[in-house]
Amino acid sequence: MPDFDNSYARLPSVFYTKLAPTPVKAPQLVAFNDGLAAELGFAQLSPEQCAQVFAGNEILGGMQPLAQLYAGHQFGNFVPQLGDGRAHLLGEVIDSAGLRRDIQLKGSGPTPYSRRGDGRAWLGPVLREYIVSEAMHALGVPTTRALAAVTTGEKIYREQGALPGAVLTRIASSHIRVGTFQVFAARGDVENLKILTDYAIQRHYPDADGPLGLLRAVCAAQAELIAAWMSFGFIHGVMNTDNCSIAGETIDYGPCAFMDAFHPGRVFSSIDHGGRYAFGNQPRIALWNMVQFANALIHQMPEPSQAVKDANEIIDVMSGQIQAAWLRRFGQKIGIHNAEPDDFDLIEALLTWMSETQADFTKTFRALADGAAIGPSDWQVRWSARVAQEADPETLMQSVNPAYIPRNHRVEEMITAALRGDYHPFAALQDALATPFTAQPDYAHLAAAPNEDEIVPATFCGT
């Protein structure tokens, strides 16, 4: 069994509320991540024990369950108190690589931060997060992980009616968010803001020098993260500051989706009416979120006017970091190892053509890697001349352009099947997405773009 070492639980008590998950009626393990369990030290648990522990019914020795406090900007509006309304941090373990990881249950019952919510999750979003977060990991994108999914044997009520309840076990480098800083900043609680800043530095960026050093490190991590999302056509959908991880991991998979047909204005989330979190807005929103992070950090600075100047410089640098990471990744997608600013036009020309022709994002880049003629003929001529200067562009393109992404229609189909008790589509998705860059003949249907009648145009928040 893993040794728990719960550093968050040792922070001042204003950071959280200690409380146990609410036990559920009849927990059943429906998914378990053996590889991750081995890394974390949970490999010896029997399936029956897993069901009990990862439903929140049984608390293992060393666990200290708590709900974390945070605030956040939701769609641009500041909410001074949010917090884990349906999640419990069970504790932290040091994994086999020596890294500290949070073990968190999501859907595990109400907390003092639940507001009007029931503290629960239904099976659909739990399986969606499980599949998509594990797919992101296999693609090489920093992300929280999924350890287990358990059905509760209880019904919960949503717009669609009565649905099976479920609990997800989520693993993260930490659950510290921009919103965690914002809650103390908004209260003028400088003492705890400083404690949190020191804690975050120690836990994630030990070389960072003070609050500005932390800001610089988080900006760099977020810049890389957003460029990685863009390079796979991923739309997070709810880039609120409470869903923005200080560790630079993708966190809180709600109405997220991977695009099929490319369009920079693409939105999936049914609640994102203004398109604030549209695909092409993600770099701008990441910068906006880091400005909010800077605003929160500044409350502890001795010379605020100088700090504002320094913070602005860091945000400007981040803007360049996003562009550089974007250029590097999209350059590689078209076979250029180290793209130069001069290559930007070549990439943009292809993307413009893709949006005009509604080309499938993933299939287009994969086809390019497989040697198909892509784009208008004048583009092909320019591109061929450019990649002639590169060593083995095909191998490079095949290593960065996946054959498989969790396509929205396949994820929805998987959920529909699971509701009938059929987990075959779940297993197929899991298997194909574990090695997304390798063509697998059995899974051709998972590589294909949706037919007209298969397109799932929107995703729902799924709370």
Find the catalytic residue in 242, 252, 310, 360: 242
243 binds Mg ion, rule: CB under 5 A: yes
- Residues near ligand AMP (CB under 6 A), total: 17
Residue 355 or 463: the one with the smaller Cβ distance to Mg ion is 463
Residue 119 or 211: the one with the smaller Cβ distance to ligand AMP is 119
Residue the block writes with tokens 């998987």: 414
Site stretch for ligand AMP (CB under 6 A), options 112-120, 330-338, 345-353, 410-418:
112-120
Taking the complex as a whole, the smallest distance from the CB of residue 8 to ligand AMP amounts, in Å, to 16
Which residue of 63, 82, 176, 256 would you call a contact of ligand AMP, by CB under 6 A? Answer: 82
Residue 124 or 375: the one with the smaller Cβ distance to Mg ion is 124
23 binds ligand AMP, rule: CB under 6 A: no
Taking the complex as a whole, the smallest distance from the CB of residue 394 to Mg ion amounts, in Å, to 40
Could you say which of ligand AMP, Mg ion, none residue 84 binds, taking C-beta under 5 to 8 angstroms by partner kind?
A: ligand AMP
Residue 56 or 119: the one with the smaller Cβ distance to ligand AMP is 119
Which residue of 49, 62, 95, 118 would you call a contact of ligand AMP, by CB under 6 A? Answer: 118
Nearest by Cα to 254 from 178, 144, 391? 144
252 binds ligand AMP, rule: CB under 6 A: yes
The closest residue (CB) to Mg ion is: 252
Could you say which of Mg ion, ligand AMP, none residue 21 binds, taking C-beta under 5 to 8 angstroms by partner kind?
A: none
Positive/negative CA dihedral, 376, 377, 380, 382: negative
Site stretch for ligand AMP (CB under 6 A), options 79-87, 94-102, 277-285, 433-441:
79-87
Could you say which of ligand AMP, Mg ion, none residue 224 binds, taking C-beta under 5 to 8 angstroms by partner kind?
A: none
Taking the complex as a whole, the smallest distance from the CB of residue 77 to ligand AMP amounts, in Å, to 13
Active-site residue 242, yes or no?
yes
- Residues near Mg ion (CB under 5 A), total: 2
Nearest by Cα to 239 from 276, 186, 195? 276
The closest residue (CB) to ligand AMP is: 117
Nearest by Cα to 253 from 406, 68, 33? 406
Report how far residue 293's alpha carbon sits from residue 172's, in angstroms, rounded to the nearest whole number: 20
Residue 243 or 362: the one with the smaller Cβ distance to ligand AMP is 243
Residue 101 or 177: the one with the smaller Cβ distance to Mg ion is 177
Which residue of 39, 84, 129, 360 would you call a contact of ligand AMP, by CB under 6 A? Answer: 84
Which residue of 30, 52, 73, 86 would you call a contact of ligand AMP, by CB under 6 A? Answer: 86
Residue 286 and residue 323 in contact, taking contact as beta carbons nearer than 8 Å = no
Site for ligand AMP in 120-179 (CB under 6 A): 120
112 binds ligand AMP, rule: CB under 6 A: no
Residue 134 or 252: the one with the smaller Cβ distance to Mg ion is 252
* Active-site amino acid positions: 242
Q: Which residues contact ligand AMP by CB under 6 A?
A: 82-86, 113-114, 117-120, 238, 242-243, 252, 254, 463
Residues that bind Mg ion (CB under 5 A): 243, 252
